[in-house]
Amino acid sequence: MTTNQTVATTIDTANAERAGAVVGYLPAGYPDVQTSVDAAVALAENGVDVIELGLPYSDPVMDGPVIQRAAEESLANGFRVAQVFDAVHQITERADVPVLVMTYWNPVLRYGVDRFADDLVAAGAAGLITPDLIPDEATEWMSSSERTGLDRVFLAAPSSSDARMQQAVAASRGFVYAVSTMGVTGARAGVDVAARTVVSRLRDAGVARTCVGLGISTAEQVAEVLEYADGAIVGSAFVRALADLGVQGVADRAADLTTGARRS
pLDDT greater than 70 at residue 167: yes
User: Who wins on pLDDT, 77 or 107?
Assistant: 107
b/e for 71-89, b at 16 or more Cβ within 10 A?
bbbbbeeebebebbbebbb
Which of the residues 38, 49, 52, 230 is marked catalytic? 52
Q: Is residue 63 annotated as part of the catalytic site, yes or no?
A: yes
DSSP 137: G
Q: Could you give the percent of the chain with pLDDT greater than 90? A: 78
How far is residue 252 CA from its own chain's centroid?
Answer: 19
Of 149, 147, 196, 185, the C-alpha closest to 64 is 185
Q: What pLDDT score was predicted for residue 56? A: 84
Cβ atoms of 127 and 7 within 8 Å: the answer is yes
The pLDDT assigned to 194 comes to 84
- Please give the pLDDT value at position 1: 56
Which of 38, 49, 63, 119 does the annotation list as catalytic?
Answer: 63
Tell which residue, 193, 139, 131, 203, has the closest CA to residue 165: 203
Considering only residues 261 and 179, tell me which one the structure prediction assigns the higher pLDDT. 261
pTM of the full predicted structure?
Answer: 0.92
Query: Residue 124 has what pLDDT?
Result: 98
Tally of CB atoms within 10 A around 44: 23
Q: How far apart are CA 93 and CA 221, in angstroms?
A: 31
Check residue 189 and give its pLDDT: 47
